[in-house]
Amino acid sequence: MSELPRKFSVLGLPVHVMTNYPGWLLERLQQGMGTHVVTLNAEMTMQAERNSYLAKIIQSAELVVPDGAGVVLYLRWLLRQKIQRTPGIELAETLLQELGLIGTSAKVFFYGGAPGVAAKASEFWLSQTPGLVIVGTHSGFHSQQEEEQLRQTLAQLQPQVIFVGLGVPRQELWIAHNRHLCPQAIWMGVGGSFDIWSGIKTRAPAWLGDNNLEWLYRLYKEPWRWRRMLALPEFALKALIYRFFQVFKVGVS
């Protein structure tokens, strides 16, 4: 590996920091090293506080990137580390572009979203990146029988990159339960990325993302998210308390 990620802790969860995530993932892809990519934000961190199984999944993931503003600010302010936010959707997009450009013939699969959304997202990417190989798509809304058929399809096709857009924490739990089907693949939860790629929704303006305010745009567009946004102040308080006791322990010892 040309670069190894630095590992930090955010409320007991790992965060891996490096300058070239796509390059690192492509190296692992070429070497057949299975990888679970988690895009960590404040909401997921708070869910992991209450869900020990989710926490274990995140802790065992091969790559956890700092996606959310809260996680990035925690690392910057409290750990005094120069950290750049890495939105999961942008990491996924760069990976797809690289796969199309280098002509690896790596097979990609999209799973999640409302009926037809993943297929439309696939059409968008195939039009943008002709060298990309997307071998299948599947909706996130289906029966148990269709779920079993999906598993059989994945086992048969053996895609090397699998994007799962089921939302947090469902996508992380699903990946952990099913990644044995394609043990050499890169598995990544991409949340609502299929909605963006299919044109159903739009991302926040770049200046909001650059100032760690993308969450504000989501709240404006989807006011029903306000309960979920309560995770942000909860995370901030937990982070300060956690950091205080870490410093206190060091001082005492």
**For all residues of the chain together, what is the average pLDDT?**
86
Residue 36, pLDDT > 50, answer: yes
Is 248 a domain residue? no
SS (H, E, C) the chain: CCCCCEEEEECCEEEEECCCHHHHHHHHHHCCCCEEEEEECHHHHHHHHHCHHHHHHHHHCCEEEECCHHHHHHHHHHCCCCCCCCCHHHHHHHHHHHHHHHCCCCEEEEEECCCCHHHHHHHHHHHHCCCCEEEEEECCCCCHHHHHHHHHHHHHHCCCEEEEECCCCHHHHHHHHHHHHCCCCEEEECCCHHHHHCCCCCCCCHHHHHCCCHHHHHHHHCHHHHHHHCHHHHHHHHHHHHHHHHHHHHHHC
pLDDT for 157-197, tens place per residue? Answer: 999 999 999 999 999 999 999 999 999 999 999 999 999 99
What torsion, rounded to 10 degrees, do the Cα atoms 67, 70, 72, 75 define?
A: -140
Per the structure, the count of domains in the chain is: 1
Here the tokens at position 235 are 């995370």
Which residues span the domain enclosing 124? Answer: 6-237
In a domain, 90, yes or no: yes
Q: Would you say residue 18 has pLDDT above 70? A: yes
Q: Which of 36, 14, 13 is nearest to 25 (CA)?
A: 36
Query: What average pLDDT does this structure show over 1-13?
Result: 85
Note the pTM of the prediction, 2 decimals.
0.87
Please give the single-letter amino acid code of residue 159. P
User: Quick check: 4 pLDDT over 90?
Assistant: no
Lowest mean pLDDT among 4-8, 14-18, 51-55: 4-8
Q: Is residue 243 part of a domain?
A: no
What pLDDT is attached to residue 141? Answer: 93
37-63 confidence digits (pLDDT tens): 999 999 999 999 999 999 999 999 999
What pLDDT sits at residue 178?
A: 98
Tens-place pLDDT, residues 83-142:
889 999 999 999 999 998 876 679 999 999 999 999 999 999 999 998 899 999 999 999
Any domain includes 200: yes
Question: Does some domain include residue 250?
Answer: no
